[in-house]
Chain A
Amino acid sequence: MQNEIVISDIEREFIDLYRENRNMFEAKASAQVNKVRKSGIRDFERLGIPGKKNEDYKYTPLQPLFRNGYRKYLEPKKVEFNLAHVFRCDIPTLDTHLVLIVNGFFDKKNGELLRELPSGIIIGSLAAASHEYPELFEKHYGKYASHQDGLVALNSAFAQDGFFLYVPKGTIYKKFIQIVNLLVAKEDIMVQHRNLIIVDDNAQAGVIICDHALTPHSFLTNSVTEIYTAENTFFDYVKVQNEHNNAVQFSHIFVNQEANSNMTSNILTLHGGVVRNNVNVLLNGEGAENNSYGLYLVDQEQHVDNYTFIDHARPNCISNQLYKGVLDDSATGAFNGRILVRKDSQKTHAYQANNNILLTDEAKINSKPQLEIYADDVKCSHGATVGQLDDEALFYMRSRGIPEKEARLIMMSAFTHEIISNIKTDPLRTRINELVEKRLRGELSACDNCAVKCY
């Protein structure tokens, strides 16, 4: 019982904080954001933080993670950090279309609040965009993120800023747009940014999102990203999570795909204390294709939990999911992949695989596929594997003079290659490959934390 009292205290604290600051929130935000905010707090009051009985969070108990007494910044705090220092590993091809989000708020250090690129792409602060483009927000903001999860409702209630990306009709943008989330503070903080991506008809674009924690404090991130891909679009979403052992991250992504849209997500968890990724995809038009990939490399006491939900709401759609993980030391992980094929969604192709390598007896993974199929003319498959490195292959390599440690590394990077090879743009793929290799070698340094190295 004591446990429950503590939980409700945490929830009460959020609700009180909301009430105290509600006027400030509403004064600053646009109508649509406030509309979603109101339903957010209502739903949060009803749902609270998902508890022990919530099947979707079975392997990641949430309440203890909130007990840290995090400060919640309700407006951007001036933080002293040297941008040049952060990006000291800068590479010459640095794209100027870089968005910086510091502690959940858009940071102007790297440019004005909203920018229109020569290609017509609009990128910048979510807060600024919500005032500038009310019609886009009315149509899309809060329309895809479901408040069935109390954490999402909590984000809606407190949402103030984050990044906004609009790719206009017919725009083909081949470079990746880079978004860097930095956590930097002199105390333990919680941040809840909110992001919105709209890819209009016949457009093509990609984003790379890098998450970094620059100071050793405890951080809790609860972010929500809504992605709308209109008809005949291509969109790539790559996320590199490279924080530290004191960082907790809940990342909720909601994707709505219209007819003949093609979206690929790659979520690479390289470092973090507790990481939970929710990928929710609604295939809302015929001929849509979704590819969801994930790679998690965890060690020490780290925990990573990937949850996917692919909703085949229309016929003739394709979804592929591949999540792979290497777990070392006492690390733990979970994969929960749900596929729903609705009654009229004939000719659906839905595939899911989750492969894991456990390097120690203490490492643990729970893998749970959930297929709900209500149509009768579909092709679906799922598979999960948990194994160790192949001893025969290790001996084969050693018998050629390759030291055991190196042989293990070679095998692990071969295992991860399948995920990274899905990143279509080459300089980015090479960079990510290097980061993953370094991670596997245990050599990922502060320098590599610098996000701009990703591209």
Chain B
Amino acid sequence: MKSMLNIKDLRASIEGKEILKGINLEVREGEVHAIMGPNGSGKSTLASLVAGKNFADVTSGSITYLGKNLFDLNPEERSKAGIFLGFQYPIEIPGVTMVNFLKTAVNEHRKHKGLEPLSAKDFLKLLREKKDLVEIDSKLTSRSVNAGFSGGEKKKNEIFQMAMLEPKLAILDETDSGLDIDALKIVANGVNKLKRKDNATIIITHYQRLLDYIIPDFVHVLFDGRIVKSGGKELAFELEEKGYQWIKNQVNGN
């Protein structure tokens, strides 16, 4: 299978403090990877760097995406190249309606592919289809982006945007946090329905429970800026059972 994302010896610091201490990760088409780890291990920093948020200084290493140096692309170019970040804390944008926001985004993607902008009618049709797919409340699209949405609505909205943009590589940053079991199922269903042979998903999570619904091909444990353990889906269960202390002890050699 074709390699999509290749992270090599990635080191990054925030205000002089090293957060990522040499990450190596390869994701190929059709794969689902889960990155698990305790708070502060560097999960969100890694996700943000792939999406193009420059709050950390990359001190060494590389990220290659479909053969391109990702650092040469700005966030919007990365999006149009097929990278999608599901935010841990989706941003509220009062005054900007979901419809306007999505229409602009979808048409920018189309422009990039050399396609005409969607007509109002076709856009609304697409909107309806994707709403049904991810089971989100149809009223959400007439509201301002995330403004006044509940925690669950915000997370579902991320999956909805993912459905609209059909990314090649989706990174879902703690999309399961703060969700009740029904919302969790809806989110997981959405991700599963959007899975194709030629796309890939990275699920970043603290807990194993999302992985009851989305079966990963690979599980990586991120601890103190390094991937300290990788394995199949059984690693998630092991981690859930033994807790992060088990990893800490292993790393510290106890």
B93 and A393 contacting across the interface, CB-CB below 8 Å: yes
A401 partner residues in chain B, CB cutoff 8 A: 76, 79-80, 105, 108-109, 112, 165
B20 partner residues in chain A, CB cutoff 8 A: none
Residue of A nearest to B109 (CB): A401
Q: How many of chain A's residues have a CB under 8 angstroms from any CB in B? A: 21
Residue of A nearest to B80 (CB): A401
A396 and B91 contacting across the interface, CB-CB below 8 Å: yes
Query: Which chain A residues (31-81) contact chain B, with CB distance < 8 Å?
Result: none
Q: Is A417 an interface residue (CB 8 A)?
A: yes
A392 and B165 contacting across the interface, CB-CB below 8 Å: no
Shortest CB distance A301–B (Å):
29
Q: Is A406 an interface residue (CB 8 A)?
A: yes
Q: Is B96 an interface residue (CB 8 A)?
A: yes
- Name the segment of A211-219, A222-230, A239-247, A407-415 touching the other chain: A407-415
Q: Is A418 an interface residue (CB 8 A)?
A: yes
Shortest CB distance A326–B (Å):
13
Q: Is A397 an interface residue (CB 8 A)?
A: yes
Query: Which chain B residues (127-174) contact chain A, with CB distance < 8 Å?
Result: 144-145, 161, 165
A397 and B101 contacting across the interface, CB-CB below 8 Å: yes
Known contacts: A401-B76, A410-B100, A411-B96. The answer to whether A396 contacts B90 by CB under 8 A is yes
Q: How far is the CA of A35 from the CA of B13 in the complex (A)?
A: 76
Q: How far is the CA of A323 from the CA of B108 in the complex (A)?
A: 33
Query: Which chain B residues (71-87) contact chain A, with CB distance < 8 Å?
Result: 74-76, 78-80, 84-85, 87
B95 and A403 contacting across the interface, CB-CB below 8 Å: no
Q: Is B94 an interface residue (CB 8 A)?
A: yes
B161 partner residues in chain A, CB cutoff 8 A: 400
Q: Is A399 an interface residue (CB 8 A)?
A: yes
Shortest CB distance A412–B (Å):
10
Shortest CB distance A277–B (Å):
24
Contact with A406, one of B78, B84, B108, B109 (Cβ below 8 angstroms): B108
A395 and B101 contacting across the interface, CB-CB below 8 Å: no
B79 and A400 contacting across the interface, CB-CB below 8 Å: yes
Q: Is A382 an interface residue (CB 8 A)?
A: no
A402 partner residues in chain B, CB cutoff 8 A: 76, 101, 104-105, 108
Q: How far is the CA of A5 from the CA of B3 in the complex (A)?
A: 80
Contact with A417, one of B52, B79, B92, B95 (Cβ below 8 angstroms): B95
Most A CB within 10 A of own CB, among B74, B85, B93: B93
Known contacts: A410-B101, A418-B95. The answer to whether A398 contacts B87 by CB under 8 A is no
Q: Is B32 an interface residue (CB 8 A)?
A: no
Shortest CB distance B118–A (Å):
14
Q: How far is the CA of A393 from the CA of B93 in the complex (A)?
A: 6
B51-84: CB near A (< 8 Å → 1, else 0) gives 1110000000000000000000011101110001
A403 partner residues in chain B, CB cutoff 8 A: 76, 108
Most B CB within 10 A of own CB, among A413, A414, A417, A418: A414
Shortest CB distance A275–B (Å):
25
Most A CB within 10 A of own CB, among B51, B79, B112, B165: B79
Shortest CB distance A278–B (Å):
29
A398 and B100 contacting across the interface, CB-CB below 8 Å: no
A16 partner residues in chain B, CB cutoff 8 A: none
B92 partner residues in chain A, CB cutoff 8 A: 393
Q: Is A377 an interface residue (CB 8 A)?
A: no
B80 and A397 contacting across the interface, CB-CB below 8 Å: no
Q: How far is the CA of A395 from the CA of B74 in the complex (A)?
A: 10
12 A-B contact pairs sorted by A residue (CB < 8 Å): A390-B91, A398-B74, A398-B76, A399-B78, A400-B165, A401-B79, A401-B108, A401-B112, A406-B108, A410-B96, A414-B96, A414-B144
Q: A390-B93, A395-B75 are in contact. List 13 more A-B contacts (CB 8 A).
A: A390-B91, A393-B91, A397-B101, A397-B105, A399-B85, A399-B87, A401-B105, A401-B108, A402-B76, A403-B108, A410-B104, A411-B95, A414-B94
